Amino acid sequence: MNKKSFQKALQAEVENFNSAVSTPNGDWIVKGFIDIAKNIYTISVDTKVISKIMELLLLPELSRFAEKHRLKMVLAEQQNFYPDISFIDREGHRFAVDLKSTYRIGERFVNGMTLGAFTGYFRSRTSTKNITFPHSSYSAHFVLGVIYSKADARIDERKRYRIDELEQITSVVNNFQFFLQEKYRIRPLRQRQYKKYRLGDRN
């Protein structure tokens, strides 16, 4: 499998990810955390929390993609390792996929998206530090990104709900937009210079 065929195959799956994470009206299917007493606590709008839960929701979908195309799926051993997922085909070609998420600011902008430190394994392409396989051993590096909107309604994180009140809980995020793009095509953001960038500036 070459770079183009991998990208085309994964892009076809990405187009269906909305149904895996959102309701028909665009709300997030995740409503909160539940305890053993069946109390539900609303989720914080913290971007790290949302990002991690989103990753957990997408892993089964990506696992099915790997099985469908006879790819080996290797997860990062540690949280700070690159990439989040390595896919390996039967010929040994490796494809790096990093999961990234960010939120909209108004209608035309999104918050900054961290793409990596660009040190260590990025500069030393044969290094095995903080990376699953050497950077140079990958046939391509992709970002699987999701852009979302924060809920307009104010979320009371102190409130508890019962199971029968599930429909009353406001989803903290909604309106998801997924994209798959080679990492080098996404414009790096320098936090001192840019706090946001146009949604269209991804090439």
pLDDT band of residue 189 (cuts 50, 70, 90) is very low
Show the beta-strand stretches assigned E in 72-137. Answer: 72-75, 85-88, 94-105, 109-111
The model's pLDDT over 66-120, given as tens digits with 9 standing for 90+, comes to 999 999 999 998 888 899 999 999 999 999 999 999 999 887 888 877 776 555 5
Beta bridge partners of 35: none
Mean pLDDT for all residues in the chain = 86
Q: Which of 98, 126, 73, 112 is nearest to 183 (CA)?
A: 98
Q: Check: CB of residue 144 under 8 Å from CB of residue 184.
A: no
Phi then psi dihedrals of residue 123, to 5 deg: -85, -35
pLDDT higher at 120 or 161: 161
Is the pTM for the entire model greater than 0.75? yes
Please name each of the domains of the chain with its CATH number. Answer: 3-198 (3.40.600.10)
